[in-house]
Every structure is written in structure tokens, then in C-alpha cells.
Structure 1
């Protein structure tokens, strides 16, 4: 895909799922790593419309710039890669099964990803932001158009942790691991029967929780075995090989806003 560039963070969360989806598609797209925790996502050039970068529901996720258009949101980008490749198997052909997959992904993006991001940023990223001088941080904030996202950055720098959100996030991670465990109870290898975007999106958010929230996976043998299968896929290994740090699973920047409606 001539001229297209995928800007991504360390292979964790949405950057991991998008990099793996790109590898699954076989498309030839340039990948450029950016430092999400330095706010580099908001200073990407080459786009005539910054809405996808500035107001993405996903928060600090990857951005694809193609033909002057910025595109974001991991699930949508994975769909784009699948369809641009003429169908690489990331989406079911059957309309009902595709609806099921998208409903699963919606649960992952609305419940799981905000929880993981909230736990992750305070566990791994707060110190780095706190060490920035005021002028540097103010410049970073000024590059972010979304008021809600700016507030999440400020909360992180100030170490303003909401105990209720922590408890809620821990519960949602455990609930989603349980949901995966139950989904696999009929012996299927993948969440939708065939491998799909649902596997990549769910895995990419659950992966860093295996160390940060180990109790959430206790006694969930099917979930753990499924995670091992996903991680072993060549596309996921290729995505992880793009890491520039020893522990990409600890690379977090402010993510989605926690759903106010539970």
C-alpha cells in the first residue's frame, strides 16, 4: 500500500493487536514506532484531518495515515487491513458470525481496555510523567485536543488514583478472563470458532494483565492455553519482535475513558 504509514507504540494493547493484524494481512505498509508516553501521537504530520488522532475513543493507540487521512481504533484498522488484503481471514464471512465478532470486540473495547489501561498506566507510567518539568508537560498537554484525554494525562502525572476505578478495573479484568474461559468451554480453539480480530483484540489487552493481575487468571486453564496459542502465532511474534524495550507489556499511555455506565 504505497505511501501509507502505520504509527504505533510498543507492541502492547492496541498497538499489539494492530501490528499483528497487519502481519496477518500481508500488506506492505511502513511501520514507524512512536513514543506514546511522550505525546508523539499528537504531532504526527502528513494528515489533513486530525480527528482520528485527537478524539479517538481508544485514547493513545496506533494511527494509520494513508492518502492524507488519519485512521485510528484498533478494531477498525484490523478490519481495514483484512478488507484491503482481499480478505485474509480476520473476519467471518457469515453476516451473523461477523456481528457476533464485532459485539465481542465492542465488549473488549468498552469494558476490558479502559480497565487494563487504567491499571497499567498507574503501575508503569506515572513516575516518568511525574519527572517531566512543568514546561515540557504543558507543551505535551497543549498538543492534545480532547479535553477528556488531557484530563487523564493530568491525573496520571499527579498520581491522582481513584480507588473505586481501581477496584472496578480489577473486577472487569477478572470478569473478562472468565468470559474467555466460558467461551472456550465447548472445546473451540479460538473465540469465534475461527481465528479473528476478536482473538487479537482480547489477547492484546489481557496479555499485560497476566503479570499485573495474575489472580484474574488463576484456575482458568482454557483462557491461559488460548493466550499461549495466540502468542505463538507468527503474526503476534512478528508484532512482538518490533518492541524497542525488554518489557513491552509494561508500556502504557492513557487509554480509553472508563465507561460511566459500568
Structure 2
């Protein structure tokens, strides 16, 4: 059994998607980030960066005591290796997947997150921030669209690269993106949305987010709280 410490953000949904695809036995442990539950001492023991997602595998690879892992990219690699799926075993295929996984973790996710912050969550408009991050997300969409021009999936077969990327494309409208401008990406996006595992993962999650009616305290918790000491 794997405990998934989770909230329905794109990064959280990556792991839920992977667990649904692999068929590994798991249960969701909610971590309400709007209420600051990510700063609770028990959660910080498994995720010292006070961010979701995190997992605890009670039957880990290699046996022994339960294994906790934080950071979505590391979790995806672990789940792929445990299940023997979603990550090629041959070196060329493996590193093709991993370079696109790290592209998402280091590029698309952070840039789309900043675009979403300035376009949706910021308490007042910041034109420079909106323009800067929306343009960068558009550039990254172009990179992905080109990659998908002659491939069904990002790195050959369906993999953790696709799973990592899809939840960050779901909120394309609030991120200022039009998939009509990226036809290969749109084809890929629509195909993945039809997968049964994806449908199960999103059954109780919205397909996009709207500007929330946040209290000052919720805004402080999400965007202004320093790391726990």
C-alpha cells in the first residue's frame, strides 16, 4: 500500500495519474494546502520542503521499513521502477523520457505556475509578470508542439514524461494559452484526456481553476509563509 499525501494541484495530479496507470495499490491522504496542513510536523517528516505531493510506500522496493519520497519527479521515477512500466529499460529510451521529465519539472511547471499566479491569484495586476510568464509558457508550448509533430507521445511510448506534463496543460486557458495555436499538442492533449486512468484521476478534480475568493490568511499560507524552522 502506498500513501499519497495529496491535494488536487497539477503536481499532486501527476502522482495520482501515475498510480492509476500502474495499478499500484494506494490511498489518498489529503493535505489541505489552503489551511496550512503542509506545515504540520508529521507531514514535514516526509516532505521537508513543505510541498505536496509526497508518498510513503509501506512495501518499498528492496523491502524494509516504509519509504517516504517527496518531489514529484522523484516519485514518478520510483513508481515507474516499482511497477516496471512507463519508463523504458534501454538507456536511450530511458534518458529520452527522463530529459523530458526534467524539462517539465524545471521548465513548464515553474513557468506555468508563475503565469497562473500573476494571471489568477495575484491580489493586483502586475503587467510585467503577466507578460513575462505568459510568453515563456507560450514558448514552452511551442517546444512541446514541435516534439509531438512526429510522435504520438512525448518520448515514444506513453511514459512518465506525458504523465508529468498533462496536468500542467489542463489549465491552459488561465495560463493564457490557446491550444488551437499548437495542433500537435492539442491532438496529444485530447488523446490523453480519453485514457481511463486519466478520467479516474480527474473524477473529483476541476479541469481548470478560476480566481479563488481567498481570505488574507489563505493567501498568506499559500504564497507568503516561509519554510518551517
Please point out which of 3, 6, 10 is paired with 1:8. 6
Structure 2 residue aligned with 1:79? 77
RMSD of equivalent CA atoms: 2.5
Structure 1 residue aligned with 2:173? 210
Structure 2 residue aligned with 1:119? 115
Structure 2 residue aligned with 1:37? 34
CA deviation after TM superposition for structure 1 residue 19, in Å? 0.4
Distance 2:132 2:91 in 1: 34
Alignment check: 8 A CA contact 2:119 2:130 kept: no
Number of equivalent positions: 206
Higher relative contact order (CA 8 A, sep 6+): 1
How do residues 56-67 of structure 1 correspond to structure 2 at under 5 angstroms?
60-66=51-57, 67=65
- Cα pair distance change 1:250/1:221, threshold 3 Å: same
CA deviation after TM superposition for structure 1 residue 238, in Å? 1.1
* Structure 1 segments unaligned to the other structure (5+ residues): 127-158, 255-262
CA deviation after TM superposition for structure 1 residue 190, in Å? 0.6
Please point out which of 175, 195, 209 is paired with 1:250. 209
1:184-208 CA-partner distances (Å, limit 9, x unpaired):
222x211111001111111111211
Given the two structures, how large is their TM-score scaled by the length of structure 1? 0.70
1:114-172 CA-partner distances (Å, limit 9, x unpaired):
1111222344445xxxxxxxxxxxxxxxxxxxxxxxxxxxxxxxx47764443231122
CA deviation after TM superposition for structure 1 residue 39, in Å? 2.1
Alignment check: 8 A CA contact 2:170 2:207 kept: no
CA deviation after TM superposition for structure 1 residue 44, in Å? 6.1
Structure 1 residue aligned with 2:189? 227
Q: Secondary structure at the match of 2:192?
A: helix
* Structure 2 segments unaligned to the other structure (5+ residues): 58-64, 213-221, 224-229
How do residues 9-158 of structure 1 correspond to structure 2 at under 5 angstroms?
9-10=7-8, 12-43=9-40, 45=42, 50=45, 53-55=47-49, 60-66=51-57, 67=65, 69-85=67-83, 87-88=84-85, 90-125=86-121
Structure 1 residue aligned with 2:215? none
**Would you identify which runs of 4 or more consecutive aligned residues in structure 1 move more than 4 Å?**
122-126, 160-163, 251-254
Q: Secondary structure at the match of 1:214?
A: coil
CA deviation after TM superposition for structure 1 residue 22, in Å? 0.6
Distance 2:102 2:142 in 1: 17
CA deviation after TM superposition for structure 1 residue 61, in Å? 2.7
